[in-house]
Amino acid sequence: MWLYGAAGPGRSAIARTIAEHQLGRRQLLATFFFSRADSSRNHTKSVIATLCYNVTLSVPESFLLITATIEQDPHIFHGPLAHQLTKLILEPLQQLSYQGVTYPTVFIIDGLDECLIQEERTTLMNAISTTAGGRHSSPLKFLITSRPEVPLARVFNTNPVKEVSARHSLDDEPDSRMDVAYFLSAKFDEIKRAHPSRRHILHDWPSSQIISDLVRKSSGQFIYPATIIKYLWSPKHSPTISYFNCNRNLCLPTERLLSGR
């Protein structure tokens, strides 16, 4: 499953919540969270090793099988990702399945777009596609989150990934729009109740039309309304008469800021 959305919809928060949920159900096998700013997590060199370590914790019976493979081939982590995934995860789990051992089947890989090298993303997805689906006795399930970048979309639109994947967009979902509307209403009420200049704020500020426009412009993502609210919360001025300085030193009243004009 490819879960994607533009910046700001909380993909990582969703991935962590699902991980906790699956862990509670004893279905979480392993996780990996990419991070563009972390030099140990912005590439694929450590992905399989991290997943292997997680697998040994989730399925203790796999420890001896995985370590035996590493002892037989100490350089395996320098080999192709598909080979690593097959030898270190798929085959040991298959062997345990033949022995009647049951184990979790869910992997979560968050922030694939945070991997800096596009070729590595494609290679990882192709490697994963060989282990997902119903080709094996105990098919593994992968939840992968990222931004909807064109190169990644191409990967998910081509075989073998396309054959064994589904997708879900977080952008502009009706439920997310409702969440944004609730967030804005609550935050504007909070501003009117607790802002230092609250005595100068009219009861009906802002208008329902402005809130509707903000919800529409957010496309169901929180980063846009959250930025607006953060600006309006500034104690330096009244939210209703605050001004915004742009590069040309022009001043825009709050009503224009909120309306996006």
> What does pTM read for this prediction?
0.68
Q: What is the pLDDT of residue 244?
A: 38
Sheet holding 106-110, edge to edge: 28-33, 106-110, 141-146, 2-4, 167-169
Q: Mind listing the pLDDT tens digit for each residue in 37-84?
A: 999 999 999 999 999 999 999 999 999 999 999 999 999 999 999 999
How big is the CA angle at 116 (ends 113 and 120), to the nearest 5 degrees?
85
- Note if the bond before 9 is cis, omega within 30 degrees: no
- pLDDT category of residue 120 using cuts at 50, 70 and 90: very high
The rounded distance, in Å, linking the Cα atoms of 94 and 97 is 5
Q: Which of 101-115, 160-174, 238-252 has the lowest mean pLDDT?
A: 238-252
Strand, coil or helix: 91: helix
Do 54 and 31 contact (CB within 8 A), yes or no? yes
**Residue 99: is its pLDDT beyond 50?**
yes
**Which of 188, 242, 196 is CA-nearest to residue 215?**
188
CB 169 within 8 A of CB 139: no
CA atoms within 13 A of residue 4's CA, in its CB half-sphere:
16
User: pLDDT tens digit string along 138-174?
Assistant: 578 999 999 888 888 888 888 878 888 888 887 656 6
Position 29 scores a pLDDT of 96
pLDDT of residue 241: 64
Going along the chain from its start, the domains and CATH numbers come out as: 2-169 (3.40.50), 174-259 (no CATH)
